[in-house]
Amino acid sequence: MVSIKVGDTLPQGEFTHVPYTAELEQKLACGMPVKLSTDEWKGKKVVIFAVPGAFTPTCHTNHLPPYIEKFDEFKAKGVDVIAVLAANDPFVMSGWGRFEGVKDKILTLSDTNAAWSKSLGMSIDLTERGMGVRTARFAIIVDDLVVKYVEIEPAPGVTVSSAEAVLSKL
């Protein structure tokens, strides 16, 4: 059951990611993972969208690409940070971001073991599919650490967590 709602303060979380650098354009570079805390988003408008897995069909073709395509629209609405979240490790998330051409536009964050997502009641157990516990598909808009929008997908597919849906709530 989702435990976060509009008006709540975003629960503290820590993620791992590989910051974009020009060296990552080289296929042999992997980068060094660093920690990122939700505390770093104080005073910022942040869009977080979560996917069950990098390179999985819906996430790879229908969820991340529209956020990349509409990046300028998000910026025009005052968004400081866009982050995609998944339980994949930070190297997979970085590789996915590089494959998709994200560069430094969208943070590709690893929610190890879906720990933060679980704490929000927004994880999904895909063990029967051989994928373990993952982040559910959801979106959150935060302004100065206050939740302004939060929706979890009610069924397979991308609706309430889509770039279009989130843009309409900014």
Q: Is the dihedral of CA 15, 161, 88, 67 positive or negative?
A: negative
* Residue of 10, 18, 59, 158 with catalytic role: 59
- Alpha carbons 21 and 19: distance in angstroms, whole number: 6
Reply yes or no on whether 59 is catalytic: yes
Read off the tokens for 81.
């940070």
Q: Residue length, the chain? A: 170
Q: Hey, which residues does 124 pair with through a beta bridge?
A: 134
- Alpha carbons 114 and 78: distance in angstroms, whole number: 28
Phi, psi of 5 (to 5 degrees): -145, 165
Q: Is 17 exposed, middle or buried (0-12, 13-18, 19+ CB in 10 A)?
A: buried
Q: How far apart are the first and last CA of the chain?
A: 25
Q: Which residue has the tokens 């929610």?
A: 111
Catalogue the active-site residues.
59
